[in-house]
Structure 1
Amino acid sequence: MDSRIQQSVVANLSGRPAAAEVGPFVFGLDPSTDSPHINYASPRPGAAVTEADVTELVAAFRAAGRRPRLEYVVNCAPGLEALLAAAGFGVEEQHEYLVCEAGTLTLPVVPAGFAVREPDADPERVAMVAAQNEAFGGEPTATDEDAARVLRSQSRGGVAIMAVAADGTCAGGGTAVAPNDGVSEVGGIGVRPAYRRRGLAGAITAAVTERLFAAGADLAWLEASGEDSWRVYERVGYRPAGRRLYMSLD
């Protein structure tokens, strides 16, 4: 399970506009944004990593004008944390990841007064990303570049879902990358504060996951950042399966 999840991370990074292989790592560089949550690296599952490989990776980040940052499944690179720590990296976060298969997915009722659907035009994509940004504590804004990123993912087989209130306001959203070898990461599940505690997060998560399975994926995975999100994901059929680590260098 761990290696399937890690391979899906590597495949996703390989699809970035300016992705590069740096030794045993894939560096997912996107020139259109400096977000560290998009521009990061991850090791190929099971690859041997040396101190020299880490030095080369840091140089690649510096050359691209990005902060060195990695996300990976711990069991797929057991010695990497020590190498990164020796190079000055610090731990940002550690999360358990959860997985869902078609047989465990539960579809909740969409809350009354809301529609859950895919954005099919750039203004809707902008509205969805703005809602996600607000949900995660950022400014409730988005750009044409954000819309282009969502469209690019959709055109490759990725999924985007928005929750729309009766007045047309986008209340939240979520996405998933195009499946690789039947595996896809679900992410960005967020609901604006004014619309929380109504069941929208579960409805969005289930809708994204359902579309992945309908498109042929057999395994969906995501991360829970806290107890509230954990409960939401478990209610729609996700179960804990492993641990992921985030490390970065200032």
Structure 2
Amino acid sequence: MDINVQSFAVANLRRRPHALETGGFVAGFDPATSSPYINYATPHPGARPTRDDVRALVAAFRERGLVPRLEFAPDAAPAVEAALRDAGFTVEETHPYLVCTPATLIPPHRDGRHPAVPVETPSCDEEYAAVDAAQAESFGGLLAPSAEGTARLRRTQESGGGVRFVRAPDGSCAGAAACSAPAVGTAELAGVATRPAYRGRGIAGAVTAALTGAMFDRGAASVWLEFSGAGSRRVYERLGYRHHGTRLDMRLEA
């Protein structure tokens, strides 16, 4: 499965407004933001980069005023981590990832004490902006809400991926998630977010299940996601997600 996830990472970065292929890597850039979580690179499966390959990749980031950063599944490209470390890159984070297939998907269980959580698809800029704001709040300001973030969410929905949210009583967004359009048979579900005031109500599970099912309806053979903490892992495992591997985030500081 590492090969599928890594092949997806390559295909997904090629969808960025600007994509660069160099020395066994693909880098994706979005001029609307300097965020290292949007602008990053990944290796092709099996890549064996030389020192010159890594230098050329670093130069592509530096000339754009960006932090050189990569996300990848190391088992799919075993030679890459050592090559990056030799160039001064360090591990930013290690992320286990989970995979769900149509055969393992378990819809959320609901009964009289736990009614179904209504999930919606944004239909206007105000709703996409509310999703963007909810994700920013949930992730502690890692990405500030912005017009560019709102536009990225709309593009995700309109380009074959999906955005789903649960409406708060005041009409805003209580929680949401997004999923990239499928590629090479799989899709990445990300940005699963519940605002602090609405946690513990089954929102994360509801939007995850809705998006996972939507991607299977569009022909994906699997959906994968990263998680943070044992609590979120339990939410995903109850829906049929299972551990399949690990991804690394690495960066080169100035």
TM-score of the aligned structures, taking structure 2 as reference length: 0.94
Q: Distance in 1 between matches of 2:47 and 2:216?
A: 30
Q: Using a 3 Å threshold, how does the CA distance of structure 1 residues 243 and 139 change in structure 2: closer, same or farther?
A: closer
Q: Using a 3 Å threshold, how does the CA distance of structure 1 residues 239 and 139 change in structure 2: closer, same or farther?
A: closer
SS in 1 for 2:95: strand
SS in 2 for 1:115: coil
SS in 2 for 1:116: coil
Q: Structure 2 residue aligned with 1:148, among 120, 140, 151? A: 151
Partner of 1:40: 40
Partner of 1:231: 234
How big is the alpha-carbon RMSD for the aligned residues of Structure 1 and Structure 2? 1.6
Amino acid aligned to 2:229: G
Report if the CA contact (8 A) 1:162-1:172 is conserved.
Answer: yes
SS in 2 for 1:212: helix
Deviation digits for residues 182-207 of structure 1 (CA, Å, limit 9, x no counterpart):
21000010101111111111111111
Q: Distance in 2 between matches of 1:113 and 1:107?
A: 11
Partner of 1:106: 106
Report if the CA contact (8 A) 1:113-1:165 is conserved.
Answer: no
Instruction: Give the C-alpha shift of residue 107 in structure 1.
Output: 1.5
Partner of 2:94: 94
Amino acid aligned to 1:126: A
Alignment of 1:115-126 (within 5 A): 115-126=118-129
Partner of 1:54: 54
Partner of 1:163: 166
Deviation digits for residues 36-59 of structure 1 (CA, Å, limit 9, x no counterpart):
111000001112211111111000
Q: Structure 2 residue aligned with 1:185, among 170, 185, 188? A: 188
Q: Distance in 1 between matches of 2:143 and 2:94?
A: 27
Report if the CA contact (8 A) 2:74-2:247 is conserved.
Answer: yes
Report if the CA contact (8 A) 2:100-2:241 is conserved.
Answer: yes
Deviation digits for residues 129-158 of structure 1 (CA, Å, limit 9, x no counterpart):
110111111189622221211121222101
Amino acid aligned to 1:123: E
Report if the CA contact (8 A) 1:135-1:192 is conserved.
Answer: yes
Q: Using a 3 Å threshold, how does the CA distance of structure 1 residues 54 and 141 change in structure 2: closer, same or farther?
A: closer
SS in 1 for 2:150: helix
Report if the CA contact (8 A) 1:130-1:139 is conserved.
Answer: no
Q: Distance in 1 between matches of 2:115 and 2:167?
A: 11
Q: Distance in 2 between matches of 1:9 and 1:113?
A: 33
Q: Structure 1 residue aligned with 2:176, among 173, 177, 183? A: 173
Q: Distance in 2 between matches of 1:70 and 1:139?
A: 17
Q: Distance in 2 between matches of 1:139 and 1:126?
A: 16
Q: Using a 3 Å threshold, how does the CA distance of structure 1 residues 41 and 212 change in structure 2: closer, same or farther?
A: same
Q: Structure 2 residue aligned with 1:248, among 248, 251, 254? A: 251
Q: Distance in 2 between matches of 1:76 and 1:141?
A: 32
Instruction: Give the C-alpha shift of residue 166 in structure 1.
Output: 3.0
Amino acid aligned to 2:130: A
Percent of aligned pairs with the same amino acid = 51
Q: Using a 3 Å threshold, how does the CA distance of structure 1 residues 221 and 249 change in structure 2: closer, same or farther?
A: same
Partner of 2:133: 130
State whether structure 2 residue 210 is matched by structure 1 residue 210.
no
Report if the CA contact (8 A) 2:25-2:43 is conserved.
Answer: yes
Q: Distance in 2 between matches of 1:217 and 1:120?
A: 24
Q: Distance in 2 between matches of 1:121 and 1:233?
A: 29
TM-score of the aligned structures, taking structure 1 as reference length: 0.95
Q: Distance in 1 between matches of 2:50 and 2:211?
A: 38
Q: Distance in 1 between matches of 2:229 and 2:142?
A: 21
Q: Distance in 2 between matches of 1:229 and 1:13?
A: 26
Deviates more, 1:201-210 or 1:163-172: 163-172
Amino acid aligned to 2:247: R
How many residue pairs match? The answer is: 250
Structure 2 unpaired stretches of 5+: none
